[in-house]
Structure 1
Amino acid sequence: MNILVAPDSYKDALPASDAARAIAEGIRRSLPDAEICLSPMGDGGEGTLDALLAATAAERREANVRDALGRPRTAAWGWHPGTRTAFIELAEASGLQPLAREERTALHSTTFGVGELIREALDAGAERLLLTLGGSATNDGGAGMLAALGARLLDRHGHDLPPGGAALAELAKLDLSGLDPRLAALEVEAAVDVDNPLLGEHGASAVFGPQKGATPDDIAFLDAALGHFADLAANALGKDHRDLAGAGAAGGMGFAARAFLGAALRPGIELVMEQVGFTRRLEDADLVITGEGQLDGQSLAGKTPVGIARAAKQHGVPCVVLAGRLGRHWQAAYAEGVTAAFALADGPMPLSEALSQCSVLLTERAESVIRLFAAASQPHHKA
């Protein structure tokens, strides 16, 4: 039996590569002779860079940048000299995961470090950039990135705005004259894992702000500030991208990538599958096992398990999802190609315990799945 193991990371618990190994261990316990293909995946969030580097044999490089709170941080990025392509994962510079829960602040976090990574890529001679936009701690509409790339965001006194989305409420002038001229020749694709617009009840602030520390009052303030930023951007550029699907990704970085970098926004899982040659891997598979921290109705907007399931469905391959949690409306994933889905915990369990035991739970659940799959594949004869 050929089994393709293609999970995303399990947030706060395991990177995709470790998750794949844990699942493989469970498969081997049940079916020692199985042929297992490990294909750690990502849809734009943390861990996507690792999947891309493994698939493309790009060089891993590091740069000293600012994190989402403006502190020094060493961030990885990828460089493929043959194609002059840079791979930049927003979460490496401005991600949510490195921040303690009490540090998370949607009001003041910044994407400045992402702009610093883009400068590194330009200095290396990049002609193409693949920018992944999941896992952010930010809600600044990409303003920090723009500042790092030479733009100036000024208040009514002509002073540079402080970092963060809240400061955008005081934006009086968007000066793009100092924007790095090399950006004009850079071909950019942005991998997004959601299809939300920039503003409103389905926008960046309302949907994703709470996980970044935003209160209900913060959400209303941030949404208005991003709307003000979008107004000035539209005046400066002559185009308005606030309603674009994916504009709300990463606290509005989808908006900034399209508006200021001319990026093509694509579902991250599609880009990653394309880079790793996932279709070829499916051709020999009898079963696909994927998963991530949560499967719910929002997963249909571009999350890894559903993207994998859709591809598996096209090739007639069963697809099983192992999720840390099955959230609201997860059953909608059946129509997308998910054959079956299982939560990892086998009973009531504190979140802290579930996170620390994620590897063990994945192995155990994978073992059970393969036992059932193998039994169903065997001919049975009644006495």
Structure 2
Amino acid sequence: MRILIAPDKFRGSLEADEVCNAVEAGILLAYPAAEITAIPLADGGEGTMEILTNLSRGTLVNVSVQDPLGRSVNAQYGLSEDGNTAFLEMAVASGLKLLSREEYNPMKTSTYGTGQLLLDAIEKGVKNIILGIGGSATTDGGIGMAAALGYRFFDRSENLLEPVGGNLSLISRIDSEQVHKGFDSLNVIVACDVTNPLFGKNGAAYIYGPQKGADSEMVELLDKGLKNLADVASKTFGEDVSNVPGSGAAGGLGAGCMWFLNGKLQNGVGIVMEQAGIEKLVQNSDLVITGEGKVDEQTLSGKVVQGLAGICKKYNVPLAVVCGTLLISPEETRSAGITYAVSVLNKPMDLDAAQRNAFTLVKEATFNLVRLFFKQ
């Protein structure tokens, strides 16, 4: 029997490749003759860059860039084996994880470091860029990233503005005369899994600003700033993208990528699965086993499990899900196209114990589910 293992990470305990190893160990205990293919997946967020780099047999590139507050930090991106494609995560340069909680302030943070990563890749001659934009510490509409690439932002008095969230409302003119010339044939795909518009009550500032340190007054100022950016950028580039689903992702970086990079927003899971050739692998499998730390309603709207469920349903291949916490009903499981879902927790235990023993728990849960599917 041919079994495809294609999980996401179990956050806090196992990376996706470690989940693959645990699932494979469980399969071989239950069915030693199984023909196994293991492909670690991601939803476009943390870990996506490493997975895409490995799938392309690429290498990691180290670059010194600015963190969200302008300090020097070492960051990495992936470069495919043929040198044509770069895989970037904005979080390694402009992510909330780079700041202490006391430093959270989207009025002062910038995506400039993400632009520096892009610039390094462009100067290496890449033709394609895949950029993940989850986990940002910023609400600057992408002007920091753009500034690193040569865009300049001026106020009404023609003063050059620092590209931070607090200056969005002051922008009167966008200048592109000094923009790097490597954009002409560049294809930019942005991994984006939220659908928020750029501004408004469901926009970048109101929905995500507070978790980045914005109080109610800051949220209102940032929202007005993003609207001002939309007005100026729409006139400059001849297109208003502020209501495109995902334009509000990563503090408006979604919109910034469309305006400043001519980027295209795509579902992160879809990008990873396309790069991995998952559809063909599913088609040639008798069972697909996936999983992630928590399976809940959010899982069923754009995560790895949901993406695989659609493909498995298309080819009538059963899909089994192993997870730490299972929070969907049997009706939701069936409706999602999941054949079998199980929590790895086999007795009462606290979170620390579950995380410490995650490998063994996943292995044992997999053993039990495979015995259900393939009787010997």
TM-score (norm 1): 0.85
User: Does 2:346 correspond to 1:349?
Assistant: no
C-alpha deviation, 1:57, in angstroms: 1.4
Query: Which residue is equivalent to 2:8?
Result: 8
> Contact between 1:46 and 1:92, CA under 8 Å: does it hold in 2?
no
User: Does 2:368 correspond to 1:371?
Assistant: yes
User: Does 2:200 correspond to 1:200?
Assistant: yes
Moved more, 105-114 or 294-303: 294-303
Query: Which residue is equivalent to 2:245?
Result: 245
- C-alpha distance in 1, partners of 2:5/2:136? 26
Gaps of 5+ in 2: none
Alignment of 1:160-175 (within 5 A): 160-175=160-175
1:226-279 alpha-carbon deviations (Å, 9 max, x no partner):
122111111211110011122122222211111221112211211111111112
> Contact between 2:296 and 2:326, CA under 8 Å: does it hold in 1?
yes
Moved more, 299-308 or 359-368: 359-368
Moved more, 176-185 or 108-117: 176-185
- C-alpha distance in 1, partners of 2:327/2:154? 42
- C-alpha distance in 2, partners of 1:40/1:313? 20
1:271-320 alpha-carbon deviations (Å, 9 max, x no partner):
11111111222133333232334444344442222112222222222223
**Identical columns (%):** 38
Query: Which residue is equivalent to 1:136?
Result: 136
Distance 1:31 1:223, change over 3 A: farther
C-alpha deviation, 1:82, in angstroms: 3.2
- C-alpha distance in 1, partners of 2:355/2:53? 25
Supply the AA of the counterpart residue of 1:61. V
- C-alpha distance in 2, partners of 1:104/1:323? 32
Tell me how many residue pairs correspond in the alignment.
375
- C-alpha distance in 2, partners of 1:2/1:30? 14
> Contact between 2:187 and 2:263, CA under 8 Å: does it hold in 1?
yes
Query: Which residue is equivalent to 1:78?
Result: 78
Q: Which SS does the other structure have where 2:292 is aligned? A: coil
Query: Which residue is equivalent to 1:213?
Result: 213
Q: Which SS does the other structure have where 2:96 is aligned? A: coil
C-alpha deviation, 1:325, in angstroms: 4.5
C-alpha deviation, 1:163, in angstroms: 4.7
> Contact between 1:140 and 1:168, CA under 8 Å: does it hold in 2?
yes
Gaps of 5+ in 1: none
User: Does 2:355 correspond to 1:358?
Assistant: yes
- C-alpha distance in 2, partners of 1:179/1:330? 54
C-alpha deviation, 1:343, in angstroms: 4.8
User: Does 2:113 correspond to 1:113?
Assistant: yes
- C-alpha distance in 1, partners of 2:162/2:261? 22
Superposition RMSD in Å: 2.9
- C-alpha distance in 2, partners of 1:329/1:140? 40
Supply the AA of the counterpart residue of 1:8. D
1:96-133 alpha-carbon deviations (Å, 9 max, x no partner):
34444444443333211111011111111122222222
Query: Which residue is equivalent to 1:283?
Result: 283
Moved more, 101-110 or 177-186: 101-110
Q: Which SS does the other structure have where 2:40 is aligned? A: coil
Distance 1:100 1:22, change over 3 A: farther
C-alpha deviation, 1:342, in angstroms: 4.2
Distance 1:368 1:324, change over 3 A: closer
> Contact between 1:195 and 1:302, CA under 8 Å: does it hold in 2?
no
